[in-house]
Structure 1
Amino acid sequence: MQSIDMKKTLSILLLLFVTLVCFNGCSDAEEASAETIHTKACTIEISGMMCEKGCKTTIQNRINDMSGVVNGEVDYALGKAFITYDANTLSCADIIAEIQSIGDGLYDAKIVEDKDIENAPVHLEEDAQNGSASVSNFSFEVPDISWVFSDLL
């Protein structure tokens, strides 16, 4: 009997903890300063890459150095680049132009897919001294606690 009461007490405490974590989000002031970016995902086919270390790394670094790129990954084996970017700042055509400018046209690139993805609220942090800005997404995972309740049912 005591073990059932202990399990119920632990379950209630765990449920309260998870509730606090879930609902302890941004304050109203933070929510007001949150800005939504128009995020897109672009897949680009790249031809002309001859080596994984040099070509792949050069292209990937140039893509990730572009203002507005959230993440850029180049897959040498597939001959494709997968880029997530802010469409308010940049377009997939801009990224292709950047790739084609490397090595005076050494690489050719074409759009395979360019689609909208979920728009997430972000916090824009500006650095006045350097004249730059960075975007931060905030997320968290809620652990699976269903095992706690399985013994109670």
Structure 2
Amino acid sequence: MTIKKIFFSITIALFVLTSCNENKEVKKENISLAISGMTCEIGCAKTIQSKLSKKEGVLDAKVIFNDSIANIEFDANTTSKKNLIAFVDGIAGGDLYKASETATKKHSCTENCKKDCEHKMAKKMECKEDCKMACCADKTE
């Protein structure tokens, strides 16, 4: 009787360990969405960013209110571009926002660029061409 219990316990433990050890490789993809309907930075953009960040499969989400753009990095094994568009469209009951894929990725300067800019040591390679900060104005690198 005890041997059966030990064997059963070992079998259960092995099953749990092997089922939890999924070695799924993350397939990273990016999408930029143009979002219409945002009227404010905190109530709209931050809410959309927060909800996207919590969505399964989303690795990173940044919503830039001034450009009406969401830059999203996601795991293509878990979600899709079509699913992300539908997700944004459905926020707030589906009546406020409309998302569509955009070909150009908008950029806001990185924190490092901002910090370096303040110290007059900006590395232009960190600053993207559409950045409007003064440190990015001279794009010689």
TM-score normalised by length of structure 1: 0.50
Cα separation, 2, equivalents of 1:112 and 1:72: 15
Q: What TM-score, normalized to structure 2? A: 0.54
Runs of 5+ consecutive residues of structure 1 not aligned to the other structure: 1-32, 115-153
SS at match of 2:67: coil
What amino acid sits opposite 1:108 in the alignment? K
Indicate the structure with greater helix content. Answer: 2
Q: Aligned partners of 2:103, 2:25: CA distance in 1, in Å? A: 23
1:113 Cα deviation after fit: 3.9
Match of 1:40 in 2: 29
2:42 corresponding residue in structure 1: 53
Mark the runs of 5 or more structure 2 residues left unpaired by the alignment: 1-21, 105-141
User: 3-state SS of the aligned residue for 1:36?
Assistant: coil
Structure 2 letter corresponding to 1:80: I
For 2:96, which of 91, 99, 106 is the aligned residue? 106
Q: CA deviation at 1:34?
A: 5.7
Give the distance between the partners of 1:89 and 1:36, measured in 2 at CA.
Answer: 11
- Output the CA distance in 1 between the equivalents of 2:63 and 2:54: 14
CA-atom RMSD in angstroms: 1.8
**Cross-structure match for 1:97:** 86
- The one-letter amino acid of 1:74's match is V
Q: Hey, which bits of structure 1, 4+ residues long, moved more than 6 A? A: none
Displacement after TM superposition at 1:92 (Å): 1.2
1:62 and 1:98 in contact (8 A); partners too: no
Of the two structures, which has the highest relative contact order with CA contacts closer than 8 Å and spacing of 6 or more? 1
Confirm or deny that 1:65 pairs with 2:30.
no
Number of residues paired by the alignment? 82
The structure-2 alpha-carbon separation of the partners of 1:103 and 1:34, relative to structure 1 and needing over 3 Å to count, comes to: closer
Distance apart, 1:40 and its partner CA:
0.3
Query: Alignment identity in percent?
Result: 33
1:54 positional shift: 0.6
Q: After superposition, where does 1:140-151 map in structure 2 within 5 Å?
A: none
Amino acid at match of 1:66: K
Tell me the equivalent position of 1:87. Answer: 76
Structure 1 counterpart of 2:64: 75
